[in-house]
Amino acid sequence: MSKIEAQHSMPVIVYFLAMAIFALTTSEFMVAGMMPSLAQALDVSVPEVGYLISYYAAGMVIGGPVLMLALLNVPRKRALLVLIGVYTVGQSAAAAAITYEIMVAGRILCGVAASACFGLALAICAQMVPPGKMARAAAIVIGGLMFATVFGVPAATALEQNLGWRFVFWLVAAMTAASGVVLAITLPASRIAQRISARAELASLNNGRLWAAYATSALIIGATFAAFSYFSPILLNVSRYDASTIPLLLMLYGAATVVGNFVVGRLADRHTMQVLFWGQVLLTAALIAFALFGQLQPVALGALILIGLTGVALNPAMVTRVIKTANASPLVNTLHASVINIGLFAGSALGGLGISLDFGMRAPLWVGAGLAVIGVLSVVPLVFREKVSTESIEVAGALRSECA
C-alpha cells in the first residue's frame, strides 16, 4: 500500500470496534422481540419484561460515566477489554438467569459496561485517525449500532422463535467475548502518559458549549424516538398499512438509517454544523408532513425514509461536534451516550403521553416535530457564526493573494 493510500484508508481496528458495538446494541434491544417467552420463563408479566430495556438504559445513563471515571488512569486498551469482560459477565448472568431479579442484575451490569464501552470506543477512534476523518470513523463505529437494529435484532427474534431465548442470550455473550479476543490481538497497546485527575476531568465538563452540544443531541434523538417508538400503531391506524407490511417498512426505515449514517459520516468532518442544521430541518419537515398527511400511504412512506436518513443517522455529526467542542476523552463521550439515552426515553415517554391524553395517534409525530424545531433553533446561531467566519477567511485569503 502506498503512503497516499495509507493516509486515506481507515484502520481495521475501527471495524472491529463496530463489531463490538453491534453485539452490545443487539443485546440492548433484542428483549423487545422475545417478551412472551421471557415472561413465561421468568414468571412475570409482559410489562415487567419491557422494564428490562429500561434497566439496561438506566445502567447506561447513571453507571456508565461513574465506571468511566474509575477507569480514567487505566490504559485504553486494557480499559476496553475490562469493559467487554464485564459486559460478557452480565450477558452470561442474564442468559443463565432462573429468576427475574438475576435477569435485572445482568441487564444493569450490561448497561453500565455498554455506555462506558461506547464512549471509550469513540475515544480510541479519535486517537487513531486524523482529525479530518473523525466523523467517518465515528460513522463506522456507530454503523455497528445501525446494523444491530436492522439485522441483529430481527435475527435474534427469529433465532429465539426456533432455538429459544437462552440460546440467543448465550450467542450474544459469545459474540461479545469474541470481539474482545479480536481487539486484544489487534488493538495496539497503550499507556497513560500522565496521571489523569478525576477532578480535572469533571472540571472539563464545566463548558457551556459542550452542554449545548449535548442538548442538541438529546433533542435530535428525542424527536426521532418520539415518532419511531410508535411507528407500528401509526402506520396501522393512520396510514392504514396492512399488518403484514409493517416489518418490511421498519426494515426499510432501518436501511435508511444505515445509508444516512454513512452519508453524514462523509460530510460531517468539514461541515459539522451545516449537516446538523439541514439534517434537523429535513427531520422536522418529514415529521410535520407525516403528521399532516400520514393518511396518504406514499407520504407516510416518504416521511418514514426521510426520518431514517436524518434523525439517528446524524450521530456522526453529533459526535464530531462534541469532540470539536471539548475533547475526545472517554468521559466526555460516555456522558454524551448517557445524554442520548435520556433523549431517547424522554422522547418516547412524551410521545406516549400525547396518546394517553387523547390527542390521537398522530400526537407522537407532533411531539417529535416540536422537539426537532427546538433542535434546529439550538444550532442556528452557530451555523450563522460558522458562515461568517468562513466568509471572513475567504476574504482574507483573497486579499493576501492580491497583495502577493
Domains in the chain, please, with CATH? Answer: 10-187 (1.20.1250.20), 205-404 (1.20.1250.20)
Distance of CA 32 to the CA centre of its chain: 17
Which pLDDT band, with edges at 50, 70 and 90, does 5 fall under?
very low
Asked whether 30 and 22 are in contact (CB, 8 A), the reply is: no
d(CA 51, CA 181): 31
Q: What pTM was estimated for this model as a whole?
A: 0.78
Asked whether 100 and 310 are in contact (CB, 8 A), the reply is: no
Distance of CA 258 to the CA centre of its chain: 12
Output the pLDDT for position 375. 95
Output the pLDDT for position 40. 86
Residues 155-199 have pLDDT tens digits of: 887 888 889 899 999 999 999 999 999 999 988 877 665 666 667
Whether 7 has a pLDDT exceeding 50, the answer reads no
d(CA 155, CA 387): 45
Residue 170 has which C-alpha cell?
A: 448465550
Residues 135-144 have pLDDT tens digits of: 888 888 888 8
Over the chain, what is the mean pLDDT?
84
Residue 385 has which C-alpha cell?
A: 457564526
Q: Which amino acid is at 111?
A: G
Closest CA to 374 of 264, 211, 220: 220
